[in-house]
Amino acid sequence: MNSPRAALRSIFLSRTAAITVGALMLIAAGTLSYLLAERAALRNQGSAAQERLNLLASTLDYTIGRYSYLPDVLSQAAPIIEAFRHPENPDAIRAANLYLKRLNETADSADLYIVDSDGIALAASNFDRENTFVGQSYAFRPYFTDALITGKGRYYAVGVTTGQPGYFLWHAVPDADGNTIGVAVVKIDLMHLQDDWRSAGDVVAMVDDNEVIFLTTDPQWLYRPMSPLSDPQVRMFRETQQYGGAVLRANPLLSGEREIDGVMVENIDDGSVTGHEYVAFSRTLPQYDWTLFVLSDMRTIQGQAGLVAGGAVVTMIAAMLIVLVTHQRRQIMRAKMNAHTILEQRVAARTAELTAANSQLSVEIDQRIRIEQNLRRAQDNLIHATKMASLGQALAGVAHEINQSLAALRTYIASTQIFLERTDKDRAAANLTTISSVVERMGELTQHLKSFARKETVAKQSTDLVAAVRYGLKLIDYRVTADDVRLTVLQPDEPVYVVANTIRLEQVVVNLVSNALDAMRDHPNRNLTVEIFQGGNNVAVLEVSDTGRGIPGDFLNSVFDPFYTTKEVGEGLGLGLSISYGIVKDMGGDITVESEQDVGTTFRITLPLAAQVTAPAETGA
pTM (two decimals): 0.46
Mean pLDDT, residues 162-173 taken together: 87
pLDDT class of 377 with cuts at 50, 70, 90: low
Mean pLDDT, residues 335-349 taken together: 79
The pairing of beta strand 539-546 with beta strand 527-535: antiparallel
Mean pLDDT, residues 184-192 taken together: 89
Give the pLDDT score at 388: 39
Give the pLDDT score at 496: 93
Give the pLDDT score at 139: 81
Give the pLDDT score at 425: 85
Q: What is the percent of the chain with per-residue pLDDT over 70, rounded to a whole number? A: 84
Mean pLDDT, residues 150-154 taken together: 81
pLDDT of 146 over the 70 cut:
yes
pLDDT of 131 over the 60 cut:
yes
- Between residues 188 and 559, which one has the greater pLDDT? 188
- Cβ proximity of 237 and 248 under 8 Å: yes
- Between residues 422 and 472, which one has the greater pLDDT? 422
d(C-alpha 618, C-alpha 621), whole Å: 6
